[in-house]
Amino acid sequence: MNVSIIGSGNLAWHLAPALDNTDFMVREVYSPNPSHAEALVEKLYEADVKASLDFSTSDSNIFIIATADSAIQEVAQEIVLPDEAVLVHTSGSQPLSVLGFAATPNIGVFYPLQTFSKEKKMDFAEIPLFLESENAFTEKILVQMAKALTKKVFKITSYERKALHVSAVFASNFTNHMLLIAQDIMKQNSLSYDWLKPLIAEMITKSLAIGPENAQTGPARRGDLKTLDKHIEFLQGDPALVDLYKMISQHILDHYQE
Amino acid sequence: MNVSIIGSGNLAWHLAPALDNTDFMVREVYSPNPSHAEALVEKLYEADVKASLDFSTSDSNIFIIATADSAIQEVAQEIVLPDEAVLVHTSGSQPLSVLGFAATPNIGVFYPLQTFSKEKKMDFAEIPLFLESENAFTEKILVQMAKALTKKVFKITSYERKALHVSAVFASNFTNHMLLIAQDIMKQNSLSYDWLKPLIAEMITKSLAIGPENAQTGPARRGDLKTLDKHIEFLQGDPALVDLYKMISQHILDHYQE
């Protein structure tokens, strides 16, 4: 099977070379920025830069849209595909139907749940892949391609993928933002953020091992309202942080009082 | 030097055996629940259970209050100490002055920044210890005791310790609560929380390596208001979660727009 990739962002940067080591070789890369496509092609065995979205003469079987979420629908409407082409997007937040106007019935979603950055190598074997397919033909191909990368292959609906994506925002984006806030408070008091790192590492290790329910500690978990008040007083120069501190603490209090 | 420990909770459970392997051996353990004190004593070389807070005939030099925060002041007022005794508490949230009514001028704080659970062994060498002392005599002894456990010994004020503690609440307690929310959303949609674990582990590894500022991803970071709206709509059955999602997302939006 041959694969064409539309987009050259963080996901494409990791997915294309990973596929290149399977029976699903990447032959074409399109990016609105040709120099980005060129940089990605240089990492691949036999891929060419495509200058347009006209793939009518392409030898590829699978077309992977790995652009920003906001560009998916437009790409799906513009792209010209060969017969029997399978077209997928890779977004956690977009439904399958965003590909509904594409010129192929063989549409699907190929969503790897991980955070990618260009600098850091990722092992796809550790990454769960979530598939959705419009028809059996598409599903068969997507399952094959996914299993070539990882054993963790799951079929879920667009609605379930949305639940997964919202959960991932809390588990990953919001968690990291809590660390940013901690770092800010430390900086403002001329204290070293590094001091918190052993605590952060141990807390996550423990939470992953025994579950967040059992791993929860702290004043809100203990119902220690005096300490909560002291912390709120400490933060009073930053009303937005006071609101955040109060709301998250209340959510913890409510959870453990139920 | 001899040490007596008041309290038998998670911190005492780890700190006492760690001290026992240094020149600061634990000789006495007091707990309002004698069976807890007995269980801890069984882990130590030459310690006895103390039945009361009258340590007037004790051979110990250092008395460590490792109780709940709410009990520290009462213990400090009740405890009867030998001459030249050093009395410390181990709390992140309590000022040094909470020991102000104790019958010794040699008061201090000995605060290890870590999350402890009885089940899990901790290596004190990895844990930063934060000291505060009322006088030079106390400081000298506390520095010695701290350095016997870890190289990461820092002198900070009560105010700085409060900043550290508030930061730790965001970095540890609130972070873990974000994971609990993620788990709840997954459960409510009959999806496996395990699917999120590689993402969580990678996100924290990345954040600790490149810093939370650079590690931030997600719809709020991208200013992707459409996805934020979709997520809010998804959560609408749970108004408290909608409020949390909005407030944290707004805080991220504001941070990166500045």
Interchain CB distance below 8 Å, A206 and B115: yes
Q: Quick one: pLDDT at residue B174?
A: 98
One domain, residues B125 and B248: no
B120 vs A114, which has greater pLDDT?
Answer: A114
Q: Quick one: pLDDT at residue A258?
A: 60
Interchain CB distance below 8 Å, B163 and A191: yes
Nearest chain B residue to A215 by CA distance is B176
Interchain CB distance below 8 Å, B191 and A231: no
DSSP structure class, residue B17: H
Angle between the B197-210 and A197-210 helix axes, to the nearest 10 degrees?
180
One domain, residues B63 and B100: yes
Does the pLDDT of residue B120 top 80, yes or no?
Answer: no
Q: Which of B166, B185, B202, B247 to mutate to test binding with chain A, by most A CBs within 10 Å of its CB?
A: B166
For residues B126-146, give the mean pLDDT.
97
Rama region for B235: left / alpha / beta (φ>0; ψ in -120 to 50; rest): alpha
Per-residue pLDDT tens digits for A3-24:
999 999 999 999 999 999 999 9
Per-residue pLDDT tens digits for B202-248:
999 999 999 999 999 999 998 999 999 999 999 999 999 999 999 99
One domain, residues A104 and A144: yes
Interchain CB distance below 8 Å, A240 and B254: yes
Contacts of B225 (CB under 8 A, 6+ apart): none
User: Which among B123, B156, B189 is the end of a domain?
Assistant: B156
Interchain CB distance below 8 Å, B70 and A240: no
DSSP structure class, residue B87: E
Confidence of residue A122 (pLDDT cuts 50, 70, 90): confident
Distance from CA of B53 to the nearest CA of A (A): 25
Structure-token match 């009518």, residue found:
A56
One domain, residues B53 and B144: yes
Closest CA to B138 of B91, B109, B106, B115: B106
Interior CA angle at A206 toward A233 and A169, to 5°? 70
Confidence of residue A117 (pLDDT cuts 50, 70, 90): confident
Average pLDDT across chain A, whole number: 95
Does the pLDDT of residue B117 top 90, yes or no?
Answer: no
Average pLDDT across chain B, whole number: 95
Distance between CA atoms of residues A172 and A84, nearest Å? 37
One domain, residues A175 and A108: no
Q: Which residue(s) pair with A50 in the sheet?
A: A30
Interchain CB distance below 8 Å, B176 and A126: no
Nearest chain B residue to A243 by CA distance is B247
One domain, residues A170 and A144: no
Report the CATH number at residue B14.
Answer: 3.40.50.720
Contacts of A61 (CB under 8 A, 6+ apart): A1, A2, A3, A84, A85, A86, A141
Q: Which residue(s) pair with B90 in the sheet?
A: none
Q: Hey, which bits of chain B come out as E strands? A: 2-6, 25-30, 48-50, 62-65, 86-89, 107-112, 129-133, 153-155
First to last CA, chain A: 54
Per-residue pLDDT tens digits for A188-203:
999 999 999 999 999 9
User: Which residues in A lie closer than 8 A to residue B70 (C-beta atoms)?
Assistant: 224, 226
Whether the CA torsion A172, A174, A177, A182 is positive or negative: it is negative
User: Which residues in A lie closer than 8 A to residue B234 (C-beta atoms)?
Assistant: 162-163, 166
Confidence of residue B119 (pLDDT cuts 50, 70, 90): confident
One domain, residues A113 and A165: no
Report the CATH number at residue B186.
Answer: 1.10.1040.20
Pairing relation of β-strands B107-112 and B129-133? antiparallel
Torsion of CA A202, A207, A213, A218, to 10 degrees: 20
Nearest chain A residue to B160 by CA distance is A189
Instruction: Please give the distance of CA B185 from its chain centroid, rounded to a whole number.
Output: 28
Per-residue pLDDT tens digits for B56-96:
999 999 999 999 988 999 999 999 999 999 999 999 989 99
Provide the domain limits for residue A221.
Answer: 161-257
One domain, residues A59 and A115: yes
One domain, residues A22 and A141: yes
For residues B124-141, give the mean pLDDT.
96
One domain, residues A166 and A106: no
One domain, residues B152 and B165: no
User: Which among B135, B156, B177 is the end of a domain?
Assistant: B156
User: Which residues in A lie closer than 8 A to residue B117 (C-beta atoms)?
Assistant: 206, 210
Interchain CB distance below 8 Å, B188 and A114: no
Distance between CA atoms of residues B61 and B41, nearest Å? 18
Interchain CB distance below 8 Å, B179 and A175: yes
What number is the ipTM of this complex? 0.92
Q: Quick one: pLDDT at residue A3?
A: 98
Per-residue pLDDT tens digits for B24-46:
999 999 999 999 999 999 999 99
Distance between CA atoms of residues B94 and B72, nearest Å? 9
Per-residue pLDDT tens digits for A131-177:
999 999 999 999 999 999 999 999 999 999 999 999 999 999 999 99
Interchain CB distance below 8 Å, B172 and A200: yes
User: Which residues in B lie closer than 8 A to residue A226 (C-beta atoms)?
Assistant: 69-70
Distance from CA of A121 to the nearest CA of B (A): 11
User: Which residues in A lie closer than 8 A to residue B200 (C-beta atoms)?
Assistant: 171-172, 175, 204, 208
Interchain CB distance below 8 Å, A166 and B115: no
Give the nearest partner residue to A178 out of B69, B170, B221, using CB atoms: B170
User: Which among B156, B176, B206 is the end of a domain?
Assistant: B156
Pairing relation of β-strands B107-112 and B86-89? parallel
Q: Percent of chain B, pLDDT > 70?
A: 100
Number of domains in chain B: 2
One domain, residues A106 and A200: no
Confidence of residue B122 (pLDDT cuts 50, 70, 90): confident
Does the pLDDT of residue B195 top 90, yes or no?
Answer: yes
Q: Quick one: pLDDT at residue A116?
A: 82
Q: Quick one: pLDDT at residue B116?
A: 82
